[in-house]
Structure 1
């Protein structure tokens, strides 16, 4: 392989989204990512393994689309760490790896005999990156989290929703993705340090503070003004723009996003919508518009509701008003010319699922582009290649281990 990271080997003990998302990025740039899973639990090491959506009526640990998406381009082996032989196999794999990464709860690696001190004994310059809710130290280290819990604890959920209603939440584990990006940066920074100094290290990543980092203005508003940010729906967080929101358009579940930054853009919006009331004296300035923001939004919504969303968005942009269709999956994935240009949804081949598309990496490199062609590994798919060819164990040993549940 000739990718930017093709000189790296990663022993990947992570799963779900937070860890798997990070190592997928490394694999896309050529790193040899070896995904280690448990043969006994039959895929339950990673809860996404057999979870839909599915391409057809088949079900099983090798057919989950989410797992395929987040583990494209990786190798997969099974090692039973309940056995001494399995622990020795993992030690051998760590000894030839540059990075060990995982996103278990704090203490799990130590309890399995693979804390950082042991990893250093196996390979002195190993880069070890862990990723859990509260990190490996501090008063909350023993608390276990999932993405929605991280979002609630960090404050993201509190700010999400409509005024005077309960927090809406985010509906998905977005902080798993966010912490995956941090994890990728952490791995690369630690590797850069090792290249300069020869020293490995343990990077202790915590997803809750990573979530708090997504709320800088809200945190600043509290620390400076002792003012609590309130959920504002689609309106501007700090009353900097009005109108600023999502408005209905013609057709089922069709919407347009509009943001007017100043009086001039409000006048342009009024012209495109043919709604002169938007330029009435009571809406002449931003403070006046904010005082009557509910009435303002109702006027805009009444004017957009009969309009075709793509056509209206084009008309507003042409006039100089920031606007966009609230895009459906089909419009984003199949109908966006720019994403097609980037190749953001490449097709990969999975042994069982077949040829399907996955999410790519939203970056364009002129010299070392990313590449994804292989789907996620089936459970234990590369045992022969990795444990046999790479680690040097013969076919008889592999067959014996498989029969006894070591691999």
Structure 2
């Protein structure tokens, strides 16, 4: 009993010093990490000119991601227009990662500390007032310290070169893996100017689209096929894919025939290999409310990593909730990287836990620490705040446990938040004619 009392008393006496040291490490690292430039691995940000055409308010900002949590909570409409429609569901969703991001954006950018009925007019007025030229510089460059971001502008049908001050381009070739009827093929012929009488023609159309995308500055191919089908892509002979092609040309199918889809996706990967392009793969949670989660399991991709050893596969969202699978794949394969885009707002606590395990598991040059994954710049900024805080907290704990020195922790932060993504997605050089 005496020994226990002595131990307890000694621990109590030591704890303030331990906690003070931990707080000091976090504060010092946080200050340095907050000043670091970011290379953001994944965004959906509108061009500033398109953003300025909108009439933004709190409900518009909440419409990206937060509304999904509110619908999950029971909100009957996905697009509330009044405080009365919004408030009950905000109260139960405000502490999710999406809710935290909205609160941070309103607090930091617009100087309003709480989202409530009394502050709503001030919030909406401040958002409207800020919606003028220079918005992106003020938020992305001055506040967020963005070097540049990889932009998936999925709303543009044809490849469009983004503003090079802020963005490099990601494009999807998923459309060509998703044909389910003759009308889809006819539309592909129109936009690529390529005749598609058969599978060979479809592959030529993919090649033409890729060339168009490269001309617009493409630095990576992205796939979100996990929203519509399982991520297992078998090696399919062209003859079998042709049978599927013939079938859909005769009559519409409910979904893309699997053998044709697999065959074309492998062609996309062969093109990525030939052009030395990394491939960003959506894995894990699908956005919105309702889907087949199992389709997006990271280990379904396992066969591709060995078949295409020179193609770097950047596994998005850490495959949440299968984050340990992504860590294992990144540990096993030289051509697999672990990307925390979206994760800090899906699960802030889980992102810290995952980052701890990633640092323990895989080399530091294979961890991409931030991708905002938003349409609106205020929320990308808020996500960056959360990501920097998480990285600082994890690295401070590594310093306290003497796994790293402070200098080593700062070097790790630069790799995770800037250098790894900059190396994988460098600004494009002009194409030679």
TM range (shorter): under 0.3
The structure with the largest alpha-carbon Rg is 1
Judging by fraction of residues, say which structure has more helix: 2
TM-score, with length taken from structure 1: 0.28
